[in-house]
Chains A and B, each alone.
Chain A
Amino acid sequence: MTSTDKNISKFLTLFHAFENALNGEKDHPYHEWRRSAIDRLQNLSFPRRKDEEWKYTPVTRIVTPNYSVPPRGTVSQKQLDATRIPDFDGVRLVFVNGQLRKEFSDWENLPEGLTVTNMDEAFQHSKYRQSIEKLLADNTEYGKDPFVTLNTAFSVESRLFHVSKNTQLDRAIHFVYINTEEDQPYFANPQKLFLIEEGAEASFVESFQSTAPNRAEYFNNIVNRFQLGANTKVHHYKMQNESRTGFQINNTEIFQDRDSIYSNYTADLGGRMVRNNLSAYHKGENATTNLYGGFMGRDEQHFDSHTLVDHAIPHCQSNELYKGILTDSARGVFNGKVVVHKDAQKTNAFQQNSSLLLSDKAVMDAKPQLEIFADDVKCSHGATIGQLDEDLVFYLRSRGLTDQKARETLQNAFLLEVMELIPVPALKQYMADLITQKFEDATTLEAL
């Protein structure tokens, strides 16, 4: 198999090695699905700078390394313990280099109402199969880009999380992603599908970290799909602290039925280059989408968040707040697309993106993108890019705080507006601590 994009060709070649290592899994029906993905990949190419959706994020840097399939990786008990969130009783599912490690996970203690099914197995149930095929179809905004297809082709350990009707999960599910340093750069393709049945409520936390935060070279190519039934509530947290030499592309899509609420809280702190495609599609009335994000970039870090809220139905709401701080030569991108279709009357859509630039070389590109075709809607957006207010710095210093402490305090306060939206105190504290660590540039796992 070949492609006109030489980077695609590399992945096609790698697929053979991957396939041969699958052993028995090759005969599963899900593997057919993988194969069809690799067939589609042949005809795709990676985005270039001339593609509007990718103009600020040079993806070539991410796809050029010669990646291997992910090695198993070694993690010490201390390193595992350090990934625990203090005062937070989540059900931990630990993934090392993208692969689920049941021996480190609370696999036996899944909360009542949650069924986790391997994709190979899920594919054999007709009710699941339909959902899977629908959720992973390539026909959505970012589904067209090759990263989703690549993820499907190489996904192992993909799982379907099914929350049954009218169940409230009594504990949050904590996906702990740990990446190790290996001889060769590798790429992992975590894939999770969430089916939330009518009336159910659940919280999902994803945390990303590395045992070699300054050296581990890898590429996490992540796909998440959420299907929210009527009257459901989902809180979804992403605490991204990848290695400074690691890449992440995160494709998360949410399909919401009537009266459902999906809230996303993202903190992007680690990684060399990170791209989030976060898209919500409304399928029923009175759906609410809350997208909240904070980022803090230094050195040459690059964070790109593309959000999409597709208001296709009347009487739906969306709220977006993204705030970030960039220093050194860091770069940030926020592209907030809101589409209000002709029939989606009485839509309320709010979007705000504010950034602080602390150095001359830091760059922020902010692009609110509102496409409104209905005439009875309330939509607003705002984007501000500024510096720390020196009057505030002076005030704090006049009370005895050092210049550095004063600036840290104000930077923290700037991001706090986003943190304040997190409903779980332990998670709010954890994110705040990660941010403080980032200010101090502390690395944790490596020292353990």
Chain B
Amino acid sequence: MLNIQNLSASIGDTKILRGLNLDIQPGEVHAIMGPNGSGKSTLANVLAGREEYIVSDDSKISFLGEDLLEFDVDERARKGIFLAFQYPVEIPGVTTATFLKEIINTVREEQGREKLSPPNMLKLMREKIKLVDLPQEFLKRSLNEGFSGGEKKRNEMLQLALLEPKLAILDETDSGLDIDAMKVVANVVNDLRRKDRSFIIVTHYQRLLDYIIPDKVHVLHQGRIVKTGDKNLAHELEEKGYDWLKQETAATS
């Protein structure tokens, strides 16, 4: 699905990712954990195609056999990459329903499928909005405008459920969520788990991983993956914090 080799990325003069390697097979769920400033969000944004990040020439990212770095953000999205934003933006004047309709049909067009008829579109939206436990009225409101933090994250999950991407990246989607909202996030992910769909769950906390059982847990520190394990690694991090790992890394490098 996704193979990252020697990924280095910087913003301005600040180097953030320093030779990161990661391989994700179809159907796998990988959790990326790590202390603040370790590069977790940068990794998510670089994969999505945010242009502010300068990716070094010797970095390689292959997605379903194609060179991902050759594609712009919207091309990546149409190829099946989805980023659930840490801070979803508010877009006044664009109603949620109009926006969802537009993005669903854009992706369908890319896949060579017919556009959905308005009644079918509405049916689909109404069905999926139940999954994220948002009131139907949200479809009529401007995208994220005046939504609470939790509502914005649910809206991200709604888009994930509607777009059915091949690789979904959740960038700290669980941060700041109450337990109910977190369960919604987990439900959507678990519901969408397929052998041909992979997930990258970027998180600060182990809590979400009680509900989404990852195949692998990686610890990111100073722009590199310094430890990889299974779900038990998340528990270990929760108990012991990151300091021991930082020391371990400092000792080896």
Contacts and interface: CB of A to CB of B under 8 A. Distances in A.
B159 interface: yes
Interface string A392-408: 10111111111101100
A409 B78 CA distance: 18
B94 A403 contact: no
A413 B142 CA distance: 10
A412 interface: yes
A410 B91 contact: yes
B229 interface: no
B35 to A, nearest CB: 25
A414 B93 contact: yes
Nearest to B81: A398
A103 interface: no
Nearest to A402: B74
Interface in B109-153: 110, 142
B92 interface: yes
A416 interface: yes
B47 to A, nearest CB: 11
B83 A392 contact: no
A121 interface: no
Contact of A417 (B49, B93, B103): B93
Nearest to A409: B94
Interface in B94-117: 94, 99, 102-103, 106-107, 110
A406 B94 CA distance: 11
A257 B48 CA distance: 59
A403 B72 contact: yes
Interface string A190-214: 0000000000000000000000000
A314 B219 CA distance: 68
Nearest to A414: B93
Contacts of B110: 400
Contacts of B48: 398
A326 to B, nearest CB: 18
B88 interface: yes
Given A403-B72, A409-B102, A398 B93 contact: no
Contacts of B91: 392, 395-396, 410, 413
Chain B, interface residues (CB within 8 Å), range: 20 to 34
A400 B88 contact: no
A416 B78 CA distance: 27
B85 to A, nearest CB: 7
B74 A401 contact: yes
Contact of B77 (A392, A398, A413): A398
A389 B94 CA distance: 14
Nearest to B78: A400
Q: Is the interface of A mostly helix, strand, loop or mixed?
A: helix
Contacts of A389: 89
B73 interface: yes
Contact of A395 (B88, B93, B107): B88
A398 B49 contact: yes
B163 interface: yes
A399 B84 CA distance: 10
A405 B75 CA distance: 13
Given A409-B94, A409-B102, A413-B94, A397 B89 contact: no
Interface string B21-50: 000000000000000000000000000111
A395 B77 contact: no
Contacts of A402: 74
A414 B92 CA distance: 8
A406 B106 CA distance: 12
A391 interface: yes
A416 B91 CA distance: 12
Contacts of A403: 72, 74
Contacts of A413: 91-94, 142
Contacts of B49: 398
A38 B103 CA distance: 60
Given A392-B89, A394-B73, A406-B74, A401 B94 contact: no
Most buried by B among A403, A405, A413: A413
Contacts of B102: 401, 405, 409
Give the 4 A-B CB pairs with smallest separation, nearest first.
Answer: A413-B93, A416-B93, A400-B77, A397-B74
24 contacts: A391-B89, A392-B91, A394-B73, A395-B85, A395-B88, A395-B89, A397-B74, A398-B49, A398-B74, A399-B77, A399-B106, A399-B159, A399-B163, A400-B74, A400-B103, A400-B107, A401-B102, A401-B103, A405-B102, A412-B93, A412-B94, A413-B92, A415-B93, A417-B92
Interface of A: 389, 391-392, 394-403, 405-406, 409-410, 412-417, 420
Interface of B: 48-51, 72-74, 77-78, 82-83, 85, 88-89, 91-94, 99, 102-103, 106-107, 110, 142, 159, 163
Given A392-B89, A400-B110, A409-B94, 20 more contacts: A394-B50, A395-B85, A395-B89, A396-B99, A397-B72, A397-B77, A398-B48, A398-B74, A399-B106, A400-B78, A400-B106, A400-B163, A405-B102, A405-B106, A409-B102, A410-B91, A412-B93, A414-B93, A415-B93, A417-B93
